[in-house]
Amino acid sequence: MSKLTSLDVLLVQEIKDLYSAETQLVKALPKMAKAAANPKLKEGFTKHLEETKGHVARLEEVAELLGASPKGKVCKAMKGLVEEGGETIEEDGDPTIKDLALITAAQKVEHYEISGYGSARALAEALGHDEVVALLQATLDEEGTTDKALTSIAEKLIPQASAAAAK
């Protein structure tokens, strides 16, 4: 780990953290898609997997623009979030309620990413790295869209789960 001696060093460190987070997600999302019962949720996880592969590529481009490698750091927060998601995948129970638990796990991931990308974008902005800002903003926009899509699916599943539990 490098010493935090400048905003440039901090930005590179944040990019490495995001890169680790995204590469962990590339491995986790297919498992979440497989575990989902709801077709829209399965489709959402599969679509986000493709977007996540694009996020990895963008971060590689960002690192190149900054003259750094995106590798070399393990995002422990994402590791924990992925482990929690794995526990949810292993749970038994009502398929609709399990889907809601998967959405909860996925939204925790999205919110972590949104905060990480937002902070990195702010640093890049402060440093005048306009191209980096644009790349980070593109990913930030996609993460926000995914979060909203997950909320929309959850809003449809909650009444179904409530009705099933009332029987």
112: containing domain: 7-166
In the block, which residue shows the tokens 């899509």? 149
Which CATH number covers residue 42? Answer: 1.20.1260.10
Residue 84 placed within a domain: yes
What's the pLDDT score for residue 162?
82
What is the C-alpha to C-alpha distance for residues 33 and 23, in angstroms, rounded to an integer?
A: 16
What sections of 67-94 are H helices per DSSP?
Answer: 76-90
Choice among 64-68, 122-126, 156-160 with the minimum mean pLDDT:
156-160
pLDDT over threshold 70, residue 165: no
Both tokens of 119, joined, read 């902070």
Residue 103 placed within a domain: yes
Burial class (CB in 10 A: 0-12, 13-18, 19+), 29: buried
Tens of pLDDT, residues 87-113 = 999 999 899 999 999 999 999 999 999
Give the chain's domain count.
1
Residue 51 placed within a domain: yes
Other beta carbons within 10 angstroms of residue 135's beta carbon come to 22
pLDDT over threshold 60, residue 83: yes
Q: Please, what is the average pLDDT of the chain?
A: 95
pLDDT over threshold 80, residue 164: no
Residue 58 placed within a domain: yes
Residue 150 placed within a domain: yes
Residue 1 placed within a domain: no
Q: At what angle do helices 130-166 and 95-126 cross, to 10 degrees?
A: 160
pLDDT band at 1 (very low <50, low <70, confident <90, very high): low
What is the C-alpha to C-alpha distance for residues 45 and 31, in angstroms, rounded to an integer?
A: 9
